[in-house]
Chain A
């Protein structure tokens, strides 16, 4: 009886193991073919002169040549610099703005739900559409919406600018519309964090005589630490994925002033078919994202300890 039971149990176990693999296999096969294989290929290609469509010259191992060329490639270094500039400007501005919006929306005021919807609505509009509409707002003529606005608030001191055609302004213009489109997403994440702070903490602070400013800095901010970290890290990673705005508005120009890593990968790998070289950019791109993710995990585990 006992033996029989064991046998049945064992058979059932074996069955479960097979079933486990069976249920997992569609996703595992797809992940393997379309994520893991390309990922490994990126590393292999980055040491070769692989072409998209193999030409007359055979594909061969070229050592670190792609990487040494990248270091000297002005378009690549410009792309790298731009991505870091985007992180340096957009991440702090967007995070602070998202937090302020969340605090504002979290007030007990009428119509806040309506305004929450309004602030979040750009997220529901795709980047290509956002870019086209902003291309209109950035019109270079004196009639242009933003030109008229800037002229108005500067009391006529600042004349019309070619926002997307001037190499010292174009990347700033792209950063502005990126913030406009993305801040609602982060706002909602902050809002969820705010609503998890127990009200009793504010009551305790009020009894201790803390004013609103003190409550914000001594209760709200510390309680939002993990949320803020998440927002900062995810915005940073998104900053390195910057692409659609550049494709639609400037195609990396003028004079590479809006070049980004992903856009340059596309130019090299797809337009010029130089997969080996593009893969080297991809590898650097991945290593940056990896470092950011590791920092995130380290800081989060620190905060839990």
Chain B
């Protein structure tokens, strides 16, 4: 009996031994995959930053495809001073911040206000309007860009800041995200305030908004991801650098030969670093925002 039991025991041991061996191999393979993929997703960004620090154009073209794409040989900020001297980088950057910033801030207010109305107030036509908002979600901007160009042309809005802001303030998808969040907030919280005679706007502003910071940050971040890179609309509605945002400035200034890679990369890095910094600081919210955009399914 004892013998059999011992045999059984050692068998179990052997089995767990090979299992943990398997597990260890799996772990090692997992890390190899993680690192290789990490390199794949990182190397273009690293190359951009490293090569932007190379003053010599010919050495950049020689270094492509070598290890010197990733290790800065001699650090120079020549390309960066070029970007500031030859091109008005601060202007384009300021334009982008102003356009995207005001679209997001005004949009947060306008879109959450209608969502509050749709989720809490009783008014005739409300259900119809909710249906309209949901239906509008499937119209991509690209599908209306050309007729919209005709509309703003009739308004005489071309080449301005507001032509890049006002049409994008109201956003059906943002309204829908707010609406979904607001209907989840218990009504009891507001009823007490209503009995105390608080106005609806005060309830929205002092009760709903503070309770809904997660959805406000989600909407802000998603809007930022979509709006910061916009190219098609600014390309159609601006002339000259005065009102150009960053993506269009980049494409206009560096879209044609001769390609000065150092300058291009310096401009690209300057344009990317603030967003990358924001992303790194708020990355938990970024990831949650993107994840919650998929929950609607």
Contact = CB atoms under 8 A, between A and B. Distances in A.
Interface of A: 13, 16-21, 23-24, 26-28, 30-31, 33-39, 41-42, 45, 50, 52-53, 101, 104, 107, 109, 111-112, 115-130, 132-137, 139, 141, 143-145, 147-149, 180, 184-185, 188-189, 191-193, 226-227, 229-231, 234, 237, 240-241, 243-244, 247-248, 262, 265-266, 269-270, 275, 278-279, 282, 285-286, 289-290, 293, 300
A120 B288 CA distance: 12
B188 to A, nearest CB: 18
Contacts of B62: 143
A79 to B, nearest CB: 13
Contact of A119 (B37, B114, B204): B37
A42 B147 contact: yes
B146 A112 contact: no
Interface residues of B, number: 97
A241 B142 contact: yes
B283 A117 contact: yes
B171 to A, nearest CB: 9
A126 B272 contact: yes
Contacts of B147: 37-39, 41-42, 45, 275, 279, 282
A142 B151 CA distance: 49
Nearest to A185: B290
A114 B140 CA distance: 34
A204 B271 CA distance: 50
Interface stretch (B5-13, B71-79, B212-220, B273-281): B273-281
Q: Which of A37, A115, A133, A278 has the most CB of B within 10 A?
A: A133
B290 A189 contact: yes
Q: Which of A21, A53, A231 has the most CB of B within 10 A?
A: A21
Contacts of B133: 31
Nearest to B168: A34
Nearest to B167: A34
B126 to A, nearest CB: 6
Interface in B249-277: 250-251, 254-255, 259, 261, 264-265, 268, 271-272, 275-276
